[in-house]
């Protein structure tokens, strides 16, 4: 979308971070029966540098509405293929 030059293609990150998350308990009984879920960040790694020749200019600072709209549309398309976690 940004037409950037790729230095490292997207790949699994060997240095990802992980944590355990869980919904807040509603009472003492719920506290005893927590079902933690793994959450992982920085799962993928990529590197870009500059932009391809002939790429359309990026929006001027303060005028990013078009880029935001396009990114939101892309995120909505990806969301259709994902199963969100029930955790907050």
> 24 is written with which tokens?
């807040």
Residue 63 has a pLDDT of: 74
User: What band does 2 get if pLDDT is binned at 50, 70 and 90?
Assistant: confident
CA pseudo-torsion sign 72, 83, 20, 22:
positive
Cα 80–chain centre separation: 14
pLDDT at residue 21 in the model? 65
Query: In which band, very low, low, confident or very high, does the pLDDT at 16 lie, cut at 50, 70 and 90?
Result: confident
pTM above threshold 0.75: no
Q: What is the per-residue pLDDT for 60?
A: 76
Longest dimension (CA), the chain: 61
Tokens 């976690």 identify what position? Answer: 85
């Amino acid at each position: 979308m940004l037409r950037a030059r790729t230095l490292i293609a997207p790949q699994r990150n060997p240095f990802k971070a992980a944590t355990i998350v869980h919904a807040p308990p509603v009472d003492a009984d719920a506290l005893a029966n927590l079902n933690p879920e793994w959450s992982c960040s920085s799962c993928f790694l990529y590197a870009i540098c500059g932009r391809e020749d002939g790429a359309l200019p990026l929006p001027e600072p303060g005028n990013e509405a078009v880029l935001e709209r396009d990114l939101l549309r892309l995120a909505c398309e990806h969301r259709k293929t994902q199963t969100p976690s029930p955790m907050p």
